[in-house]
Chain A
Amino acid sequence: MEQKLVSKRFDAINPLSIDDYLESGGYETLKKALKRDRINIIEEIETARLRGRGGAAFPAHVKMMGIAKEEETTRYIICNADEGEPGNFKDRHLMEKDPHQFIEGMIITAYAIRATKGYIYIRGEYDKAHSIIEWTLEEARKKGFLGKNILESGFDFDIEIRSGAGSYVCGEEFALIESIEGKPGRTRVKPPFPTQKGLFDKPTLINNVETFANIPHILEMGGEAFAKIGTQSSTGTKLVSLSGNVNNPGVYEVPFGVPIKDVIEKLGGGSKDGRKIKMVQLGGACGPIIPEYMLDLTIDFDRFEDFDSKTGAGAIIVMDERFDVFDVLLRVAEFFEHESCGKCTPCREGNLQLVKLVEKFINRRATQKDLINIESLARVMHHTSLCGLGQTAPTAILSTLKYFRDDYLDLIEHPEL
Chain B
Amino acid sequence: MLEDILKKHPQHEDSLIEILLEYQNVKTKRYITDEEVEQIAKYLGVTESKVCSVVSFYTFFSTEPRGKHIIQVCKDVPCYVNGSGNVLKTLEQLLNIRIGETTKDEKFTLEYTSCLGNCDGAPAMRIDGKTFTNLNPNKVKAIISEYRGVN
- Give A contacts to B, CB under 8 Å: 83-89, 91-92, 123-128, 162-168, 179-185, 200, 241-245, 249-251, 281, 285, 315, 317, 319-320, 323, 327-328, 331-332, 334-335, 338-339, 341
Q: How far is the CB of A131 from chain B (nearest CB, A)?
A: 9
Question: Quick check: is B4 within 8 A (CB to CB) of the other chain?
Answer: no
Contact A179 B17 (CB under 8 A): yes
- Closest A residue by C-beta to B13: A182
Chain A residues within 8 Å of B119, by CB = 86-89, 241, 243-244, 249, 315, 317
With A89-B117, A249-B120 already in contact, the answer to whether A185 and B77 are too (CB < 8 A) is no
- Number of B residues, CB within 8 Å of A: 37
CA gap between A250 and B14 in the complex, in Å: 36
With A166-B58, A327-B80, A332-B77 already in contact, the answer to whether A84 and B17 are too (CB < 8 A) is no
Chain B residues within 8 Å of A127, by CB = 126, 129-131
Chain B residues within 8 Å of A244, by CB = 77-78, 81-82, 119, 122
Main secondary structure of the interface of B (DSSP, over half): mixed
Question: Quick check: is B118 within 8 A (CB to CB) of the other chain?
Answer: yes
- Closest A residue by C-beta to B111: A166
- Give B contacts to A, CB under 8 Å: 12-18, 20-21, 53-54, 57-61, 75-78, 80-82, 113-122, 126, 129-131
CA gap between A164 and B59 in the complex, in Å: 10
With A86-B78, A285-B77 already in contact, the answer to whether A168 and B120 are too (CB < 8 A) is no
CA gap between A209 and B127 in the complex, in Å: 26
Chain A residues within 8 Å of B114, by CB = 84, 86, 166, 168, 335, 338-339
CA gap between A63 and B122 in the complex, in Å: 36
- Closest B residue by C-beta to A329: B77
Q: How far is the CB of B56 from chain A (nearest CB, A)?
A: 8
Q: How far is the CB of B66 from chain A (nearest CB, A)?
A: 14
CA gap between A242 and B119 in the complex, in Å: 8
